[in-house]
């Protein structure tokens, strides 16, 4: 695919700049915009100095891989489940997040999805998700939503998109963060449902009801899925003017072939996860030469997919050293009950984990 580098937001690495942006009041050069208006963050106090914002929060962040359904607050899950009459299997919502593989994680992800029953639910989770991110330095996000099971249950896609858009607008007004949407096909529902979803989203966009949706992706289960069957859906996405990306090379047991299929058959512009690329030196060189971005989720690869035993064993450093165009992203906050990300630890522990991650991943 020609001329990938330097294209629009879907393709831009987090800190690729086309103009000079002044430093933030914290002294950090923001990739996208000044700090959010309401960055309510933790502080710590040095023995000899005044309170200071935690370094992890002071860093301005662009997040190109985040699933809104994976960021729902546990308390919100309880309230939405009660509202929808959907019983939860545990009393403590944090106990939901116990899994040992990508597929067992997806079972929990789908359960949380089922609590989103109407337009206001979608607006609430989008609003809360962005406010939570802004408190930790988020400036811009491209946020996935995967509504296949909601559509199958009778929800209207237009209402889902409208709810998400309303929630984003509320969060933007309150914090200054900016957000676009990527509609993801759920591969577990098959290629026919994927094509119907893309066509419906394209019609919404044509009539001005999906202006925030800038792209189409594909997620959910990977093992045992023939990505080639989704080519008509991706062709339709391009016809409707959407940018394209795809989860590939993520699950244990899936090698670099799925990355090749995503690029050469589906024609996507960006790869989500893509860690299996390290198993194919020729493919590494190709992605590096063509500047094809990969949105890499180290914590997800360790805690959710169990592809690596630890962050120290993750190949991010070798991918970086090979010249690949990478961003480091979170994917879903559901990872936190087992291995807390930096935003969930006390300030001192967060700095320790942040520094360790930088050493192991060359962040």
Q: Which residues are marked as active site? A: 250
Helices vs strands, H then E, count in the chain: 13, 10
Q: Tell the residue number behind the tokens 């690949």, with chain if given.
A: 324
Per the CB < 8 A criterion, the answer to whether 57 and 342 are in contact is no
What are the respective helix, strand and coil percentages of the chain, to the nearest 5?
45, 15, 40
Cα separation, 142 vs 242, in Å, equals: 13
What beta strand segments (E) does 150-290 contain? 178-186, 213-219, 243-248, 270-273
**Distances 222 to 128, 192, 229, 272, 278 between C-alpha atoms, Å:** 29, 17, 13, 12, 18
Per the CB < 8 A criterion, the answer to whether 252 and 305 are in contact is yes
Structure tokens at 7: 């294209």
Cα separation, 282 vs 230, in Å, equals: 25
User: Residues 6 or more apart from 206 whose CB is under 8 A from it?
Assistant: 240
Burial class (CB in 10 A: 0-12, 13-18, 19+), 340: middle
Per the CB < 8 A criterion, the answer to whether 247 and 222 are in contact is yes
Q: Tell the residue number behind the tokens 């991650």, with chain if given.
A: 357
């Amino acid at each position: 695919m020609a001329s990938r580098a330097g294209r629009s937001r879907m393709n831009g690495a987090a800190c690729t700049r086309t103009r000079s942006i002044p430093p933030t009041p914290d002294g950090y050069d923001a990739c996208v915009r000044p700090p959010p208006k309401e960055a309510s963050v933790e502080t710590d106090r040095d023995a000899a100095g005044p309170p200071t914002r935690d370094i992890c929060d002071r860093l301005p962040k662009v997040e190109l891989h985040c699933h809104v359904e994976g960021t729902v607050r546990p308390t919100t899950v309880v309230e939405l489940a009660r509202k929808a009459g959907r019983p939860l299997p545990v009393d403590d919502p944090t106990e939901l997040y116990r899994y040992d593989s990508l597929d067992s994680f997806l079972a929990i992800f789908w359960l949380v999805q089922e609590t989103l029953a109407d337009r206001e639910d979608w607006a609430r989770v989008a609003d809360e998700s962005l406010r939570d991110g802004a408190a930790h330095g988020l400036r811009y996000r491209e946020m996935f939503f995967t509504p296949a099971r909601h559509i199958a249950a009778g929800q209207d896609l237009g209402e889902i998109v409208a709810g998400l858009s309303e929630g984003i607008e509320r969060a933007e007004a309150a914090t200054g963060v900016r957000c676009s949407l990527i509609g993801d096909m759920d591969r577990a529902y098959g290629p026919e449902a994927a094509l119907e979803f893309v066509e419906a989203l394209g019609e919404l966009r044509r009539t001005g009801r999906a202006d925030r949706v800038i792209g189409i992706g594909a997620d959910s289960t990977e093992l045992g899925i023939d990505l080639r069957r989704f080519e008509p859906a991706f062709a339709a996405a391009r016809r409707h003017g959407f940018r394209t990306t795809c989860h590939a090379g993520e699950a244990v047991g899936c090698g670099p072939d799925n990355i090749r299929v995503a690029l050469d058959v589906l024609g996507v512009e960006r790869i989500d996860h893509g860690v299996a690329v390290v198993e194919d030196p020729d493919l590494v060189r190709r992605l590096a030469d063509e500047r094809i971005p990969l949105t890499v989720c180290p914590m997800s690869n360790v805690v959710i997919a169990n592809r690596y035993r630890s962050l120290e064993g993750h190949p991010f450093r070798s991918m970086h050293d090979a010249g690949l165009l990478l961003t480091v992203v979170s994917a879903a906050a559901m990872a936190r009950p087992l291995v807390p990300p930096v935003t969930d630890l006390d300030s001192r522990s967060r700095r320790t984990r942040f520094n360790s991650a930088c050493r192991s991943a060359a962040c």
